[in-house]
């Protein structure tokens, strides 16, 4: 008799816990989609944006561009979780919530540490807590080893270029600024309130390192433009190089670590 009572209770509790773990996720940001793949949760993704390159070869629905979301398509997919960033229009978020869809918004991380915190939060949210812990342990090790490698190196001035027309730079209090500080460097755009720079500003501040986030043909053109200034410290020392934008500019811990490794390879011989 007792077993007959206990088993249904146990089944109810188990079912309740299982229901809390999402089974159909729509991601409205490339960074969140990549994080889901790093969390071994790709099978849960049912919809994503046109810029979620990591999912382009999978049979997933495209439901959004960089800024525009096809709300009807999202609702049709019947997700039990929609993931978004603050880039997504707040009105879109409200419509999805009013439709009864759980929608979680992740703010833009301002540091590597915040990237790790958000990754752990996402891991717990999608039932991949242990995977997140393993990934973060390995990532932190790589980042710390890289930081230590720069300890005895000369402190260099960096210009990290993430836009061309107009020129746009990485700023303070962003996770990308940690690429510079973790390499023991100084950001020539430090203290500025806007990332838009003139080429004259860069030339006057004469950076020792210029990192260009790949921008296709435009990125190649930028490399050629900088090389026309042979007196520029970064050009003289051969410290003008590319990093993959889909890796360096997409906020998640594993890609941050990979970017740091490339910076180390380029600057420490």
What is the per-residue pLDDT for 58? 86
**Helix, strand or coil, per DSSP, at residue 17:** helix
Q: Give the relative orientation of helices 112-125 and 129-149 as an angle to the nearest 10 degrees.
A: 170
Spans of the chain, pLDDT less than 70: 1-19
pTM of the entire structure?
Answer: 0.88
Q: Are 263 and 257 in contact (CB under 8 A)?
A: no
Q: Where in the chain is the domain with CATH 3.40.50.1980?
A: 20-107, 137-267
The residues, any chain, with a CB within 8 Å of residue 246's CB and separated by 6 or more, are 30, 53, 214
At 246, list the tokens. 């889909």
Is the domain defined by 20-107 classed in CATH 3.30.70.260?
Answer: no
Q: Are 213 and 245 in contact (CB under 8 A)?
A: yes
CA 95/CA 250 separation, integer angstroms: 26
What is the per-residue pLDDT for 193? 92
The pLDDT tens digits of the residues spanning 57-91 come to 788 999 998 778 999 999 999 999 999 999 999 99
Q: Are 58 and 46 in contact (CB under 8 A)?
A: no
The pLDDT tens digits of the residues spanning 129-154 come to 999 999 999 999 999 999 999 998 99
CA 263/CA 258 separation, integer angstroms: 9
Q: Are 243 and 263 in contact (CB under 8 A)?
A: yes
Instruction: Write out the H or E segment, with its range, that includes residue 194.
Output: none
> Dihedral (C-alpha) 87, 211, 225, 167: value to the nearest 10 degrees?
30
What is the per-residue pLDDT for 207? 98
CA 134/CA 151 separation, integer angstroms: 26
Options 3.40.50.850, 3.40.50.1980, 3.40.50.150, 3.40.50.740; CATH of 137-267: 3.40.50.1980
């Amino acid at each position: 008799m007792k077993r007959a009572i206990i088993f249904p209770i146990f089944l109810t509790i188990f079912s309740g816990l299982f229901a809390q773990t999402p089974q159909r996720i729509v991601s409205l940001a490339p960074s969140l989609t990549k994080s889901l793949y790093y969390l071994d949760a790709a099978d849960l993704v049912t919809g994503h944006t046109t810029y979620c390159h990591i999912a382009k070869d999978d049979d997933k629905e495209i439901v959004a561009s960089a800024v525009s979301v096809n709300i009807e398509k999202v609702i049709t997919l019947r997700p039990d979780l929609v993931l978004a960033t603050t880039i997504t229009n707040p009105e879109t978020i409200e419509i999805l919530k009013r439709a009864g869809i759980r929608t979680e918004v992740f703010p833009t991380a301002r540091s590597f540490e915040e990237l790790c915190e958000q990754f752990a939060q996402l891991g717990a949210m999608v039932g991949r807590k242990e995977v997140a812990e393993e990934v973060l342990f390995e990532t932190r090790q790589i980042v710390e080893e890289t930081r230590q490698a720069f300890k005895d190196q000369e402190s260099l001035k960096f210009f990290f270029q993430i836009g061309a027309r107009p020129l746009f730079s990485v700023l303070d209090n962003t996770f990308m600024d940690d690429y510079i500080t973790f390499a023991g460097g100084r950001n020539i755009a430090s203290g500025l309130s806007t990332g838009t720079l003139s080429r004259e500003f860069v030339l006057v501040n004469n950076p020792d390192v210029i990192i260009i986030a790949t921008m296709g043909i435009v990125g190649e053109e930028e490399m050629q433009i900088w090389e026309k200034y042979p007196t520029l410290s970064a050009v003289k020392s051969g410290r003008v190089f590319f990093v993959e934008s889909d890796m360096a500019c997409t906020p998640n811990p594993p890609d941050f670590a990979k970017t740091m490794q490339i910076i180390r390879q380029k600057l420490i011989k």
